[in-house]
Amino acid sequence: MKAKTINEIRKEGLEVLAKALGPIGMVRFVQSFDLGRGDYTKERSQWLSESLDDIFREIKEKRTKVRGV
């Protein structure tokens, strides 16, 4: 059995979704996914290096700036 390419899998998946949900339902379903932004690996190492106290302090600082206090 030959492995399918990612394009073949996507095409087949969209066909199945369209059949099950109808074309409009398929589009709405696909649009509900957000791939996100940024560099998870880089940001993860930054988050892991911070203590909870550091994170709480940053939150308080941002809230203070937003409130103008």
- Convert the pLDDT of each residue in 52-63 to its tens digit: 888 899 999 999
pTM: 0.47
Q: Which pLDDT score is estimated for 11?
A: 95
**Separation between Cα atoms, residue 18 and residue 28, nearest integer Å:** 11
Q: Are 17 and 26 a contacting pair, CB within 8 Å? A: yes
Beta-carbon contacts of 28 under 8 Å, excluding residues fewer than 6 positions away, are 21
* Percentage, residues of the chain above pLDDT 90: 54
**Separation between Cα atoms, residue 28 and residue 3, nearest integer Å:** 29
**Separation between Cα atoms, residue 69 and residue 62, nearest integer Å:** 11
Q: Are 26 and 18 a contacting pair, CB within 8 Å? A: yes
